[in-house]
Amino acid sequence: MTGVFLILNAGSSSLKFAVHEARAPSAPPLLRGKISGLGTRPVFSAQDRTGADIDAGALTALEPHARHETLIADLLPWLACATRDRPLLAVGHRVVHGGRLFEAPVLISPDVLRQLETLAPLAPLHQPHNLAAIHAVTTWRPEIPQVACFDTSFHRSQARLAELFALPRDLTEEGVLRYGFHGLSYEYIASILPDHLGERASGRVLVAHLGNGSSICALKGRKSAATSMGFTALDGLMMGCRCGTLDPGVILYLMQARGMAAADIEKLLYTQSGLLGVSGISNDMQVLQASDDPHAKEAIDLYCYRAACSLAGLLPSVGGLDAIVFTAGIGEKSALVRRLICGHLSWLGVALDETANARNATSVSAAGSKVPVLVLPTNEEAIVARACDSLLL
């Protein structure tokens, strides 16, 4: 019986999981699912390899407002039961920040865990949840090896100029650099590009990962040349609840004129801004698209305008444009967002095929478009499964 890897992606509002067969990371997972609504009203859902829903058993009635640790502790025995007689070989985790310490996936040891804890302030919305998942597995089955895969690692191929802030050198040396995120997603997309673009895959490809968290990565030779996120996952594009790039003077204003404390500013920038802040309605793109409130429309327009500006701003890092890829929840499913972003880029020769775009086809560019535009579903879990394979087998 082939052993399996459990992949955990513990975010701020959802816990995603997948069970992959060892030595088959590119095959669809045996099962995948998520607990959404963490911190409020958690809802469990899971599907088997064929996409059919799996009975949640005891997980149908998750306690409202339960802590992440409690939910993970409930989920682990359910997963063990659902995969039945297949031995669990390892647990792989998506970890948001690896800083300068981790340029590749790593087997988790107490020392590694201590180092990851020091990076928590750089990703306050994510890193503590990633670490909580690691602790929960250690408590459940301390003998099981655990692997951490970092969202920052893929970007370590960037040139020094792409990583630097214009700050005094002592801060740079201390590690105040542009790290970039969503690296597991970009690594997956880079790995499948040749299937869709042939030789162009090694050219200059801009990948827009548009989900609750959103960023853009400029690839050259299928490696990261530059990305829109920086020192933290707050930078770059406007997101669900995060502001993205902001004049630092606004933060000084909030402190000096409004007397706001750091914790309040953190809350404002991470959880009350972005689509939610501008619309005053929701952080959820689907909800905003269904609304006829002008603030919802303005939030979507701003999201798309800023994404297009960011995309164009990354072009000097790769010196041109051979293809655009949209991925993640909004990128894969919102025809409106793709249409608005590509509309701002028509001067680059980008043109969409409206019919293909409306049905979220794999290729959505018009026949005459100078630049192919693709919609490719991401699969961060597959990258974590690959890392488990290569570190453990």
From candidates 211, 230, 236, 244, binder to ligand ADP by CB under 6 A: 211
Check binding of 59 to ligand ADP (CB under 6 A): no
**Of these residues, 53, 55, 151, 284, which one is catalytic?**
151
Residue found under tokens 């067969």 = 21
Residue found under tokens 């214009």 = 166
From candidates 131, 330, 342, 376, binder to ligand ADP by CB under 6 A: 330
Of 83 and 282, nearer to ligand ADP (C-beta) is 282
Give the nearest distance from C-beta 17 to ligand ADP in angstroms: 13
Does residue 370 contact residue 349 with C-beta atoms inside 8 Å?
yes
| Residue 84 backbone class (left: φ over 0; alpha: ψ -120 to 50; beta: rest) | left
Check binding of 98 to ligand ADP (CB under 6 A): no
Give the nearest distance from C-beta 274 to ligand ADP in angstroms: 10
18/8 Cα distance (integer angstroms): 7
From candidates 112, 284, 302, 340, binder to ligand ADP by CB under 6 A: 284
Give the nearest distance from C-beta 213 to ligand ADP in angstroms: 5
Check binding of 285 to ligand ADP (CB under 6 A): yes
Element (H, E) at 33: strand 31-36
Check binding of 286 to ligand ADP (CB under 6 A): yes
Does residue 49 contact residue 32 with C-beta atoms inside 8 Å?
no
Of 146 and 212, nearer to ligand ADP (C-beta) is 212
Strand partners, 220: 204, 223
Strand partners, 224: 219
DSSP code string of 307-337: HHHHHHHTHHHHTS-SEEEEEHHHHHH-HHH
Element (H, E) at 32: strand 31-36
Give the nearest distance from C-beta 222 to ligand ADP in angstroms: 22
Give the nearest distance from C-beta 258 to ligand ADP in angstroms: 29
Question: Catalytic: 301?
Answer: no
Check binding of 289 to ligand ADP (CB under 6 A): yes
CA 388 to chain centre: 19
Q: How many CB atoms lie within 10 A of CB 339?
A: 15
> What's the number of CA atoms in the CB half-sphere (13 Å) around residue 157?
17
288/264 Cα distance (integer angstroms): 26
Q: How many CB atoms lie within 10 A of CB 49?
A: 13
The residue range among 146-154, 314-322, 328-336, 381-389 that interacts with ligand ADP, by the rule CB under 6 A, is: 328-336
Check binding of 329 to ligand ADP (CB under 6 A): yes
Angle at 12 between CA 8 and CA 14, to 5 degrees: 55
Check binding of 291 to ligand ADP (CB under 6 A): no
Of 183 and 317, nearer to ligand ADP (C-beta) is 183
Check binding of 36 to ligand ADP (CB under 6 A): no
Does residue 182 contact residue 217 with C-beta atoms inside 8 Å?
yes
From candidates 333, 339, 343, 358, binder to ligand ADP by CB under 6 A: 333
Of 227 and 317, nearer to ligand ADP (C-beta) is 227
The residue range among 59-67, 123-131, 251-259, 281-289 that interacts with ligand ADP, by the rule CB under 6 A, is: 281-289
From candidates 212, 215, 227, 273, binder to ligand ADP by CB under 6 A: 212
From candidates 189, 208, 328, 364, binder to ligand ADP by CB under 6 A: 328
Residues in the chain: 393
Q: How many CB atoms lie within 10 A of CB 191?
A: 16
Give the nearest distance from C-beta 181 to ligand ADP in angstroms: 11
Break the chain down into helix, strand, coil percent, rounded to 5. Answer: 45, 20, 35
The residue range among 165-173, 188-196, 207-215, 305-313 that interacts with ligand ADP, by the rule CB under 6 A, is: 207-215
237-256 binders of ligand ADP (CB under 6 A): 240
Does residue 149 contact residue 133 with C-beta atoms inside 8 Å?
no
Does residue 33 contact residue 17 with C-beta atoms inside 8 Å?
yes
Give the nearest distance from C-beta 289 to ligand ADP in angstroms: 6
Note the residues at the interface with ligand ADP (CB under 6 A).
Answer: 11, 14, 211-213, 240, 284-286, 289, 328-330, 333-334
Which residues participate in catalysis according to the annotation?
Answer: 151
